[in-house]
Every structure is written in structure tokens, then in C-alpha cells.
Structure 1
Amino acid sequence: MKKMLLSLLGSAIILSSGTASAFADNQPKLTTEVSKVVGTPYKWGGTTSSGFDCSGFILYIFDKFNLDLPRTSSAQAKVGTPVSKDNLRPGDLVFFNTSGRGISHAGIYIGNGQFAHSSSSKGVRISKLSESYYKQRYVTARRTISQKSYTMMVGSYN
């Protein structure tokens, strides 16, 4: 009886781990790459997984898809095409005025009203555009990737 219970328990663990990895394989590549660095500390000027500033985080993620962008958030906000908040799709960049002196923070929209970014106080994290802090400081969004790059990053998701 003990052997049978252990066998059933082992099978359940194997099956559940297989389901989890199958689910992870179905995630958009953008989400997968972002999830690998969530929790990475903030580092001013940082562009590596040992620490990122906001634009360095964007460069790091976009580099995973062989996409080039300028180094700073203010320069990144000048490339691509403006996109309204209502038409955001995963991979679009979102920009904020957190300093009172123009664009000073940026993130990558990942869908469902959320964006990934490197916060100076909490490091790489996922936040909602609807959070009062970001809602009050939102400036613009830009679409900097082609349809081909979008498909590579997120598949056929819209």
C-alpha cells in the first residue's frame, strides 16, 4: 500500500511539473525574458542582469530579440511611432515624467494594463499603468518594433 501511494505521489509530481513547463513554453517570449530578471536591483547606468536603470532594462530585453534602441529614456521616447494608451500592445514602450523635468522613466508594456520596468526603489518589477503614481506621470508611448519583431516577441497575441 505504501509503495502504491508513493508511486501515485511521484506520478502526480511528474505530471504537474510537465504541465507547468508546458504552460511556460506557451508564454510569449517577451514575458519569459522579463520574468527572468524580475527582482534584479536598480543600478543607475546599469545595463546588465547585475543591475539595471530603466532604459538599460529596456535595452537588455530588446537585445534578446536583436533590436536596437538609443541608450536613454528621453532618446528612446523620440524613436518609433506614437501610440495612444488605448492602442498599446506588448512590446510598446511607455514613458513617464517622474522628475518634473520631462521624460525620466520608461518601461515595456506587457499587456493587460501592465508594464515591466526597473524602478529606482524596487528594481525590475511589473506595475500597472492605472496605479496612481504612474497614471499621474504618464507622458507617452512609442511603438518601436516592426510587425515581424512583434510576432517574434509575443507570437500571435494582440
Structure 2
Amino acid sequence: MYCNVADLIQTPFKWGGRDKSGMDCQGLFLEVMRRFGKNILDELPKNYSSHQIARCITMKIISGEWQKQEIPAPGDAVALAIDPMLPNSVQHLGVYLGEGKFIHILEGTKVIISRIDDRYYSRKIKGFFRWNG
């Protein structure tokens, strides 16, 4: 499945942002998933911390709403542990686009596409997850 995200590239980071004037990783994640036809309700906390994201995602995986995938497919969530103080928990989300690429945004940056085999990100990826909703 193909998803056009070209218009999102270079969107600036904005806490709580949900449109092209500014987005955070949650807003970008929800928008890209919507474009893949996955209408995920905005269930992550609005003013979230690394701990809240990790707890929310873990509960969704335990409940079966998300299933871990060995090999990602376009539209799968890319879960990352970016915080070196929390190396075993998820604090960041991206969406797999295919061909080894995922889209995401980090605080202080703009929306970018990175490779899952990138030396930095490959060490941070905790898994790929498919939504069953």
C-alpha cells in the first residue's frame, strides 16, 4: 500500500501540533496512519511524557490492539526508545513507509524520512507493530 506524505516533509515540530503548521510525533503518527486508512483514535495522552507513551503503547499491545511484526509493512508503527535513560521503553513513534523507510519527527526538528537500517535508528527501534482496529 502506498501513502503520499510528501506534503508533510519539513513540517516543523510543535508540542501538541496536529496540522502542517506544526506537529509532534503523536500528531504526525495519527495523520500518517489516517492516510493509510487506519482511523486510530487519539488515545495517547495530550501532554505526554516518555513514561505515558510507553505505558499506553504497552497496554495496547497487551490488549491485542497492536501486534508485533518481525518484518514491517507499509502502515506499521515503528516504536523507538530514543531516551538513553529509558532504553527499554518506547517514547517515540514513526510510521513505516516501505523500502526500509519511516516517517517521524523529533522535538526541535522537522518531519523527516529516515531509514530503519540507519546506524542511529536501528539501535533505537524496539519493534514494528500492526494495528488490528
Q: Tell me if both proteins adopt one fold, taking TM over 0.5 as the criterion.
A: yes
Matched, 1:103 2:76: no
Q: 1:82 to 1:66 in 2, by over 3 A?
A: closer
| Equivalent in the alignment of 2:74 | 90
Matched, 1:143 2:130: yes
Q: How far off is 1:131 after superposition?
A: 1.1
| Equivalent in the alignment of 2:39 | 67
Aligned partner of residue 111 in structure 2, secondary structure? strand
1:71 maps to amino acid: L
As a proportion of its length, which structure holds more helix? 1
1:67 maps to amino acid: N
Q: Which has the higher contact order (CA 8 A, sep 6+)?
A: 2
- For these two proteins, the number of residue pairs brought into alignment is 115
Q: Return 5+ residue gaps in structure 2 as ranges.
A: 46-52
Q: Return 5+ residue gaps in structure 1 as ranges.
A: 1-26, 147-158
Provide the alpha-carbon RMSD of the alignment: 2.1
| Equivalent in the alignment of 2:50 | none
| Equivalent in the alignment of 1:125 | 112
Q: Percent identity?
A: 28
TM-score between the two structures when normalised by the length of structure 2 = 0.75
Q: How far off is 1:62 after superposition?
A: 2.5
Question: Matched residues in 1 for 2:132 and 2:77: separation?
Answer: 10
2:97 maps to amino acid: I
Question: Matched residues in 2 for 1:80 and 1:66: separation?
Answer: 12
Aligned partner of residue 139 in structure 1, secondary structure? strand
Larger gyration radius, structure 1 or structure 2: 1
Deviations 1:17-56 (A, max 9, x none): xxxxxxxxxx92x1x1x11111100112222211111111
Question: Matched residues in 2 for 1:113 and 1:66: separation?
Answer: 20
Q: 1:66 to 1:136 in 2, by over 3 A?
A: closer
